[in-house]
Structure 1
Amino acid sequence: MWTIQDAKNKFSSVVDAALAGTPQEVTRRGKPAVVVMSASEYHHLLAEAQRSRGSFIEHLLAFPGEDIEGAQVEPRSVEF
Structure 2
Amino acid sequence: MASWQVQEAKTKLSEVIDRAISEGPQTITRHGKARAVVVSIDEYEALAKKRRNFVDFLIDGPRFDIDIERSKDLPRDIDLE
Residue 39 of structure 2 corresponds to residue 37 of structure 1: yes
User: In structure 1, how many angstroms separate the alpha carbons of the residues matched to 2:45 and 2:52?
Assistant: 11
Aligned to 2:74: none
CA 1:23 to 1:45, structure 2 compared with 1: closer, same or farther past 3 Å? same
The alignment partner of 1:2 has SS state of: strand
TM-score (norm 2): 0.60
Corresponding residue SS for 1:50: coil
> Which of 3, 25, 28 does residue 26 from structure 1 map onto?
28
CA distance in 2, matches of 1:16, 1:54: 38
What is the one-letter code of the residue matched to 1:7? A
- Percentage of identical aligned residues: 38
Aligned length: 59
Shift of 1:56: 6.4
SS of aligned partner of 1:55: helix
Structure 1 alignment gaps of length 5 or more: 60-80
Matches within 5 A, 1:32-71: 32-50=34-52, 55=56, 58=59
Q: CA RMSD in A?
A: 2.7
Q: Which has the higher helix share?
A: 1
Bigger radius of gyration among the two: 2
